[in-house]
Amino acid sequence: MGVSFDKIDGVIWFDGKLVPWGDANVHVLTHGLHYGSCVFEGERAYGGKIFKSTEHSERLRASANILDFDIPYSAAEIDAAKQLVLEKNGQTDAYVRPVAWRGSEMMGVSAQSNTIHLAIACWSWPSYFDPAERLKGIRLALAEYHRPDPRTIPAMAKAAGLYMICTISKHKAEREGFADAMMLDWEGYVAECTGANIFFVKDGKLHTPIADRFLAGITRATVIDLAKRRGIEVLERRIKPEELSGFSECFITGTAAEVTPVSQIANWSFTPGAITQQLMEDYTAEVTPKGTKAAA
């Protein structure tokens, strides 16, 4: 285990100013902790530039609006703050985490007058999965929990509370020797992994679940665009689990996962192939700032 995240040396942007890492604290009675009124983003910087920074900032503000609060900073101000944090921490290739939440003025379900806070941190975070395992394809379990009906949760928000069942599912998968877990939706169709979207390959075409029952990833959209540039047809549709035996390749996408091949989901097997490899390479090229050599 590395250094505890509250012990990292550096600075965090907190409500408009830079504070020492260890001083970026909230009270135990903050509403965001007790009632889940918290939204966040996961972003990566490559060569000192945050990939699709404004798209992430806009989605952060949109997620807050879905949870019925307004972040008191514009997308442009959030972009500038993220870049400042990156520079002040001397980071060029890093993970960036903006997080916004309701404060402590009122402790109850209703907290319409609570202060809205925003903090931004960044740290060095290599590939989400072990490099050797990632290249040969990671193994996924099938999660017991399903993604809930969007009529019962704010599914289009990147809200902290929605990740509770993801943590439970990933913990169980890891205890069983898997790297992650694939989740179904409430109707039993393929949805996503615990923190990444999922794609399949069949007869040279990409198949991926329609992102109307879970968060539509920014990396997902990037990969779809890259595939279309290559002339690869992308089919967004409902996918039944029993169809998995008919797919030749599988990979997942996300800011942390980037493009990661999958070799197994429960009892279904896949072989990382040419399309997955091509999109991995295309994604690396896409996120690497011009004039910067891509990392090996």
Residue by residue, DSSP assigns 191-204 as: EEESSSEEEEEETT
**Token couple for 30:** 């903050």
Contact 12, 120 (CB under 8 A): yes
158 belongs to the catalytic site: yes
Q: What H or E segment, with its residue span, contains residue 59?
A: helix 53-66
Q: How many CB atoms lie within 10 A of CB 57?
A: 25
164: Cβ–Cβ under 8 A, 6 or more apart, which residues?
Answer: none
Residue by residue, DSSP assigns 131-146 as: HHHHHH-EEEEEPSS-
Secondary structure class of 149 (helix, strand, coil): coil
Q: What H or E segment, with its residue span, contains residue 17?
A: strand 17-20
* φ and ψ at residue 166, rounded to 5 degrees: -70, -45
Of the candidates 117, 78, 82, the residue with the CA atom closest to the CA atom of residue 101? 117
| Set 158, 172, 202, 293: catalytic member | 158
Q: How many CB atoms lie within 10 A of CB 134?
A: 20
Q: How far apart are CA 47 and CA 55, in angstroms?
A: 18
Catalytic site residues?
A: 158
